[in-house]
């Protein structure tokens, strides 16, 4: 992750950023009495909508057994429900129906701090930053899919 115009510590700074985001995700999940993978799965469902357990397994990187237990935990907590496929009663989709009540409270301090940081950027800088977020998310998803195909 370097180009001639990039600062020499860019890779280290970026790894620190990613580590901090992951650490906050784990701490947020724990504060909501969830596992990090449970909160991650909820995020996937809220962003992508209902999907089959198999699709959720692929997106979370879990096998079918752990995915079933994850769905069971989220269903028992009232965050998802299994919905029968109207065309094939053997199939179900998992759809989000709620999120942890504590999540907004838990996320508020980080959201406030990040909002203050974002508020210090010009509209042009924000455009570049959000362009990066969009393109980097796609790149990471593609890279993850490539890694899964290699295994």
Q: Which CATH architecture has domain 11-100?
A: Orthogonal Bundle (1.10)
pLDDT score at 1: 61
DSSP 123: H
Domain assignments of the chain as residue spans, ordered by start: 11-100
- For residue 56, count CB atoms less than 10 angstroms from its CB and return exposed for 0-12, middle for 13-18, buried for 19 or more: buried
pLDDT score at 24: 95
Partner residues linked to 85 by β-bridges: 88
Instruction: Give me the tens of pLDDT residue by residue for the chain, a chain 151 residues long.
Output: 656 788 999 999 999 999 999 999 999 999 999 999 999 999 999 999 999 999 999 999 899 999 999 999 999 999 999 999 888 888 999 999 988 888 889 999 999 999 999 999 999 999 999 999 999 999 998 998 898 888 7
Q: What is the 3-state secondary structure (H, E, C) of 1-65?
A: CCCCCCCCCHHHHHHHHHHHHHHHHHHHHHHCCCCHHHHHHHHHHHHHCCECHHHHHHHHCCCHH
134 backbone φψ class: left, alpha, beta (φ>0; ψ -120 to 50): alpha
pLDDT score at 119: 97
Pairing assessment for the beta strands 80-85 and 88-96 based on DSSP bridges:
antiparallel
From 98, 95, 97, select the one nearest 50 (Cα to Cα).
95
């Amino acid at each position: 992750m370097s180009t001639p115009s990039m600062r020499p510590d860019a890779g280290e700074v970026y790894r620190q950023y990613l580590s901090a985001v992951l650490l906050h995700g784990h701490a947020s999940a724990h504060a909501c009495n969830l596992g990090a993978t449970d909160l991650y799965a909820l995020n996937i469902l809220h962003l992508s909508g209902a999907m089959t357990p198999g699709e959720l397994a692929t997106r979370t990187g879990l096998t079918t057994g752990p995915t079933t237990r994850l769905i069971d935990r989220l269903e028992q907590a009232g965050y998802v429900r299994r919905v029968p496929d109207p065309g094939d009663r053997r199939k179900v989709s998992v759809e989000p129906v709620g999120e942890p009540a504590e999540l907004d409270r838990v996320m508020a301090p980080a959201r406030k701090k990040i909002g203050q940081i974002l508020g210090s950027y010009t509209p042009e800088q924000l455009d570049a930053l959000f362009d990066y977020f969009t393109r980097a998310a796609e790149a990471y998803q593609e890279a993850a899919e490539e890694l899964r195909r290699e295994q």
